[in-house]
Amino acid sequence: MFYVDGGTKTQQELANNLYNFCSNELGIKKKVDIDLRIVTLDKAQAWTDYEGEGKFYLDIDKDLDKDKFITALCHEMVHVVQYLREKEVSEKEAYKLEQSLADKFKQVN
């Protein structure tokens, strides 16, 4: 399940669409519970916290423009997949994949 708290209605809808898109593109087949909070962040655009057993907490800065919001959430979804596959969390891989995911999302939405 994907839960969204905070942000504007537009941001919440965008987040839901992005979650569905990224889940499909990244091949997430395991059951996951993601709580996304759209809030003011001071030191990052977004972050992911994995609690284990498919439970994630994501925060994303509510002040990001639409393009940065899309890119940041794509980046965090790459981390979700890394945790699910029990791979080392790699910023290099997340930065590599975030833009291609974001660009593909923008083409279809």
DSSP the chain: -EEEEES-HHHHHHHHHHHHHHHHHTT--S--EEEEEEE--SS-SEEEEEEETTEEEEEEETTS-HHHHHHHHHHHHHHHHHHHTTPPP-HHHHHHHHHHHHHHHHHH-
pLDDT tens column, 91-105? 999 999 999 999 999
Q: Give pTM, 2 decimals.
A: 0.95
pLDDT tens column, 57-72? 999 999 999 999 999 9
The enclosing domain of 89 has a CATH number of 3.30.2010
| Domain count along the chain | 1
Domain that holds residue 55: 2-108
Taking 90 as the threshold, does the pLDDT of residue 109 lie above it?
no
> Above pLDDT 90, what percent of the chain?
92
